[in-house]
A and B are shown apart, each in its own frame.
Chain A
Amino acid sequence: MAWLVNVLQIVLFVAASPLLVGWIKKLKCWSQNRRAPSILQPYRDLAKLLRKETVVPERASWVFRLSPYLIFAVAVLACAIVPLLAVHLPTAALADVIVLVGFLALARFFQALAGLDVGTAFGGMGSSREMTIASLAEPAMLMVVFTLAVSMGTTNLASAIETLLHQLPLIRPSFVFAALGLALVAVAETGRIPVDNPATHLELTMIHEAMILEYSGHHLALIEWAAQIRLMLYGALLVNVFLPWGLAESFDPSSLGLGLLAIAVKLGGLAGLLVLVEILLAKMRLFRAPQFLGFAYLLALVGMLIHVILEVG
């Protein structure tokens, strides 16, 4: 049963991620008084890309062809580690959150290589920027993880969330700061405004899009899909770690249904927040991003210090 729920959760993760993106787009259009595309539009886009012919630059090597599959596989694997509907899942013990960060870094590494593989200025520029931002986001991300790990005594996501579920619903000050830090990191890592703009194709500003400029057809579909899964992953991480209530602890249909409802509401709300941030802020210059991520690191550090000073002993 546990394995069944586990597989179900992974499938749900993979299948629902375009829906989240569609929802964000819809909210964004509404808030800007535009007519919104259907919430299913991301699915249609993926289906279109999968049907289309795949064009590969003639100088590309196997790295270019391998990377989309690897990126997608890593995204699917990450879904097995982050709890979405329920805790106690068997795959959660396979790897802890540091391994999760490591695997996301592996995917990014190959994406950067694929950008360089084409041998054009755009690809290299995107790779360089992406790796720069990622190398600054990683310490902030891990600082959040450490705050969580030191206060929960574990780096395993499932056991940390379980501990949290059984505690009184207190607001821990350290967690407030850690959650803010993680939110900033998530914005940077998923390439949203104000760090990167997923909708831009302007040479001087694009980061993620520059790296994947040469991709098309099913390669592009895989990369886009993986990016959508990553967005959902970070969203689930944020809401389920810091607001774990509603996660199913047993596998009977009613608690699973409740879990599904809870995550839908939480992610829907989070999407609203993200949209609010995106319509209020403009994209930053690239060299502002270090300050942004430095701030994220600082927030996480303050969370850690608060934990060490106030919450221990």
Chain B
Amino acid sequence: MMTPRFSLGFLQDSKLLLEAWLGAGLGRLRQRSRFIAATLGWIGLLLLALLLLGRQVALPFCLLSVALALTSGLTGLWADKYPQLVAQVCFPLLLWSGIAGLTGGLIAATGQFSQEITLPFGLPWLSWHLTLDALSGFFFIVVSAVLLAVALFGPQYVREYESGPYSPGLLALATGLFVAGMQSVLLAADAFFFMIAWELMSVASYFLVAYTHEKAENRQASFLYLLMAEVGALFIILAFGVLVGFGEGFTFAKMKATELSLAWAAVAFTLGLIGFGMKAGLVPLHAWLPEAHPVAPSHISALMSGVMLKVAVYGFIRFSFDLLGELHWGEGLAVLVAGSFSAVFGILLAFQQTNLKRLLAYSSVENIGIIFTGLGLSILFYSEHKETLGAIGLIAALYHTLNHALFKSLLFLGAGAILQRSHESNLERMGGLISRMPVTAVLFLIGCLSISALPPFNGFVSEWLTYQAALQVSVLDSGVLRSFVPMTAALLALTGGLAAACFAKVFGVAFLGVPRSHHVQRVRRLEPLSVLVGMSWLAGLCLVLGILPASMLRLLEGVAISLTGVGLPSSASHGWLWLVPVAPETASYAALWVFLALGLAWILAFRLLYRNGNRAERLAYPWDCGFGNLTPRMQYSATAFAMPIRRIFAGAFVVREEVEEPALDPGRGLRYRLHVDDRLWGMFYEPVAYALRFGVRYVGRIQMGNIRVYLGYSFFTLIFLLWVTS
């Protein structure tokens, strides 16, 4: 107990860690050399094509990416017979698809051009139109960056399902189609193909959510997901319908040319906001999200939370900024309110969860809220013809889109790694994982710091940009807006503070302290390399985007210019080190310098004080108030950690607390149950469901069960339709 240990305790730890990691890594690398050589060859081939053909390869690369994802899915058809196909063919194909998509997306996002292609499929009078421009390219980067990590993480993770009762083929098929669907949505340039791709994405992901279908609640969750996805799709079709109805045709180019009256534009915008907001998970349309995401396999949750929600954001941006064009300040205000409300509500509920994946799902609601806050600010500024400030809001939202994709996928993959090693997703039974999964712990910590918007990581940069956009509010003419916008910024600050508290809870309860259950205690120290590489890729990007934000800002400015024609103020350009959104005297942030200064201060403190006479460090039992024998159950639990916030914001939840004393054996212990529910279920969903049931009862009266009556219905409908069309 009293063993003296000399100096540099944690440095030694990390050195050992690194050695073990590298040692294991080299061994694995040798085993997989053929695969790695093939991947390097693939990268070389893509680069060669880029060198020879120039920027024109962007669209072919993206099409190649879609094709590879589709092939990966179709390969899955044989995976039931040969389960090793999943790890050896399907995931490598997804990886290559990710590499191709990343290259194509980067080329498209950095250049001011758009490429079009028409494929001879679809309706006789409407073939499929595909377009790749800077916005699509940027979202291709988002999809592909996460796809790479998932493709590296997946093979280890799906091993679990190979021997189980589930079909590995279905998993691979649905994953491939899901990815291909998301990528196609980004390329679609007509309403018809857009909806096909959209539905491919929704339905394929339904099968993924329903994958572990033997549990009743999983089936229920997947049904809710499908229901809300389809209702959302209906709204999107209606929104497109308004544009098509007043315009010339189904292609985006023709829809863009449509002139709408103010009222119809508002109708189209509202329909689009509801449709895309439902997929993105804006409050109060978020109910499917915390149900569906925890149920899917973890690498799929990463794709759904990290990428699919972003595709919905893409749809919203494409629809409102590109297709509708002229926006009204009222629309901006609506988006701003919805965004702020989602952010605060999402994080409050996330904080109260004890299931790690459910918590992460609610936190996605929060982050979507932050993205829409940025978009709302942007619409406000655009509508008041302050285009350069609108660009800041748009850039902040896009930056946060990418950031959220990175750190949320990282966290979901981390949760998956914990789930796989310990078969536990309840925080209350975790603890002490930092010594059992040391590298995962570091990567997960980076994810937690990023999502809590703490510098020097990427989440902070995008929130900082959102604040900067909000603080330019004094240029607006309306006094009401001028006083309202800073309040939403303060709500954003509250969100940030609560997020930090929430993720301190997550990391502290899951990884620190001592294990709270036996199977977490028995977790073996084994972290497969491919899993770590996949997560390190995301964590590395989180750090790089946090300390070198200026080049990303340039890229996003290009996206904003191609979308609306206007970039940042001319005073903003200030070299690659300085993040200057408006002008140097207004605000500047030199993330790299700050990072280095922090490092310098740390080293100085370490050098000066560690040497100061006393290097010895004694290990001792923690303070136990003199009673002795601290048990793991005496640790602070996740529920306890969240208790003050539960009490302060009691209005946001429905809290049910029950304390039971066993009747047979009083005094032998109490049973405490706590349920924290979403207040919106009672306020919003139940009335809707009730109204629906009420209405359906009336509609049900025409169903008589008599075939002749039904034939009659068909006959009269036909006559009616003939009359209408003639």
Q: A and B bound?
A: yes
A residues with a Cβ closer than 8 A to B are: 50-59, 61-63, 65-66, 69-70, 72-74, 76-77, 80, 91, 93-96, 98-99, 102-103, 105-106, 108-109, 112-113, 115-125, 127-129, 131-132, 134-139, 141-143, 146-147, 149-150, 153-156, 159, 213-214, 217-218, 221-222, 286-287, 290, 297, 301, 304-305, 308-309, 312
Known: A73-B605, A120-B635, A213-B623. A132 touches B434 (CB 8 A): no
Min Cβ gap B28→A in Å is 25
Min Cβ gap B353→A in Å is 15
Stretch at the interface among B212-220, B491-499, B692-700: B491-499
Min Cβ gap B452→A in Å is 6
A290 to B644 Cα, complex, angstroms: 10
A70 to B602 Cα, complex, angstroms: 6
User: Can you list 6 residue pairs at the A/B interface with Cβ under 8 Å?
Assistant: A62-B10, A76-B605, A129-B644, A146-B489, A286-B644, A301-B490
Min Cβ gap A303→B in Å is 10
A135 to B495 Cα, complex, angstroms: 8
Min Cβ gap A194→B in Å is 17
Q: Is B276 an interface residue (CB 8 A)?
A: no
Chain B residues lying within 8 Å of A58, measured Cβ to Cβ, are 1, 619-622
Contact of A138 among B493, B587, B619, B630 (CB under 8 A): B493
Beyond A124-B635, A124-B641, 8 additional pairs, beta carbon < 8 A: A51-B612, A61-B13, A128-B641, A132-B501, A139-B493, A146-B486, A146-B489, A301-B487
In the complex, are the beta carbons of A59 and B467 less than 8 A apart?
A: no
A143 to B464 Cα, complex, angstroms: 14
Known: A77-B601, A95-B590, A135-B501. A120 touches B622 (CB 8 A): yes
Q: Is B512 an interface residue (CB 8 A)?
A: yes
In the complex, are the beta carbons of B601 and A76 less than 8 A apart?
A: yes
In the complex, are the beta carbons of B590 and A93 less than 8 A apart?
A: yes
A139 to B604 Cα, complex, angstroms: 33
Chain A residues lying within 8 Å of B1, measured Cβ to Cβ, are 58
Contact of B513 among A50, A56, A119 (CB under 8 A): A119
The closest CB in chain B to the CB of A159 belongs to: B585
Stretch at the interface among B87-95, B106-114, B592-600, B666-674: B592-600
In the complex, are the beta carbons of A139 and B497 less than 8 A apart?
A: yes
Min Cβ gap A91→B in Å is 8
Contact of A63 among B512, B588, B605 (CB under 8 A): B512
Chain B residues lying within 8 Å of A147, measured Cβ to Cβ, are 486
Chain A residues lying within 8 Å of B632, measured Cβ to Cβ, are 119
In the complex, are the beta carbons of A287 and B648 less than 8 A apart?
A: yes
Contact of B614 among A96, A123, A218, A312 (CB under 8 A): A218
A57 to B512 Cα, complex, angstroms: 13
In the complex, are the beta carbons of B497 and A105 less than 8 A apart?
A: yes
The closest CB in chain B to the CB of A81 belongs to: B594
In the complex, are the beta carbons of A65 and B500 less than 8 A apart?
A: no
CB-CB contacts below 8 Å: B94-116 with A: none
Give the interface centre of A74, A120, A213, A287 by most chain B CB atoms within 10 Å.
A120
Q: Is B508 an interface residue (CB 8 A)?
A: yes
A5 to B252 Cα, complex, angstroms: 60
Chain B residues lying within 8 Å of A143, measured Cβ to Cβ, are 486, 490, 493
In the complex, are the beta carbons of B471 and A136 less than 8 A apart?
A: no
CB-CB contacts below 8 Å: B596-629 with A: 597-599, 601-602, 604-606, 609-610, 612-614, 616-624
A70 to B633 Cα, complex, angstroms: 29
Min Cβ gap B504→A in Å is 4
Contact of A139 among B491, B512, B605 (CB under 8 A): B491
Chain A residues lying within 8 Å of B449, measured Cβ to Cβ, are 106, 109
Min Cβ gap A40→B in Å is 19
Min Cβ gap B710→A in Å is 60
In the complex, are the beta carbons of A69 and B471 less than 8 A apart?
A: no
0 or 1 for each of B411-448: is its CB under 8 Å from A? (1 = yes): 00000000000000000000110110000000000000
Q: Is B460 an interface residue (CB 8 A)?
A: yes
In the complex, are the beta carbons of B489 and A142 less than 8 A apart?
A: yes
Q: Is B342 an interface residue (CB 8 A)?
A: no
Known: A124-B635, A135-B494. A96 touches B587 (CB 8 A): yes
In the complex, are the beta carbons of A121 and B634 less than 8 A apart?
A: yes
In the complex, are the beta carbons of B513 and A77 less than 8 A apart?
A: no
Contact of B640 among A72, A128, A218 (CB under 8 A): A128
In the complex, are the beta carbons of A112 and B508 less than 8 A apart?
A: yes
In the complex, are the beta carbons of A155 and B586 less than 8 A apart?
A: yes
In the complex, are the beta carbons of A134 and B648 less than 8 A apart?
A: no
In the complex, are the beta carbons of A218 and B644 less than 8 A apart?
A: no
In the complex, are the beta carbons of B483 and A305 less than 8 A apart?
A: yes
Chain A residues lying within 8 Å of B500, measured Cβ to Cβ, are 105, 108-109, 131, 134-135
The closest CB in chain B to the CB of A153 belongs to: B586
0 or 1 for each of B400-414: is its CB under 8 Å from A? (1 = yes): 000000000000000
Chain A residues lying within 8 Å of B593, measured Cβ to Cβ, are 94
Min Cβ gap A65→B in Å is 4
A143 to B613 Cα, complex, angstroms: 45
The closest CB in chain A to the CB of B435 belongs to: A61
In the complex, are the beta carbons of B648 and A72 less than 8 A apart?
A: no
A213 to B648 Cα, complex, angstroms: 26
Min Cβ gap A175→B in Å is 15
The closest CB in chain B to the CB of A123 belongs to: B636
Chain A residues lying within 8 Å of B464, measured Cβ to Cβ, are 98-99, 102
The closest CB in chain A to the CB of B645 belongs to: A132
Q: Is B14 an interface residue (CB 8 A)?
A: yes
Known: A76-B601, A127-B636, A128-B641. A150 touches B471 (CB 8 A): yes
A258 to B602 Cα, complex, angstroms: 32
Chain B residues lying within 8 Å of A56, measured Cβ to Cβ, are 9, 617-620
A99 to B590 Cα, complex, angstroms: 10
Chain B residues lying within 8 Å of A50, measured Cβ to Cβ, are 609, 612-614
Contact of B617 among A54, A286, A297 (CB under 8 A): A54
Q: Is B79 an interface residue (CB 8 A)?
A: no
The closest CB in chain B to the CB of A290 belongs to: B648
A121 to B640 Cα, complex, angstroms: 10
Known: A51-B613, A150-B471. A134 touches B497 (CB 8 A): yes
Min Cβ gap B205→A in Å is 33
The closest CB in chain A to the CB of B641 belongs to: A128
Q: Is B254 an interface residue (CB 8 A)?
A: no
Min Cβ gap A170→B in Å is 19
CB-CB contacts below 8 Å: B558-608 with A: 584-590, 593-594, 597-599, 601-602, 604-606
Q: Is B453 an interface residue (CB 8 A)?
A: yes
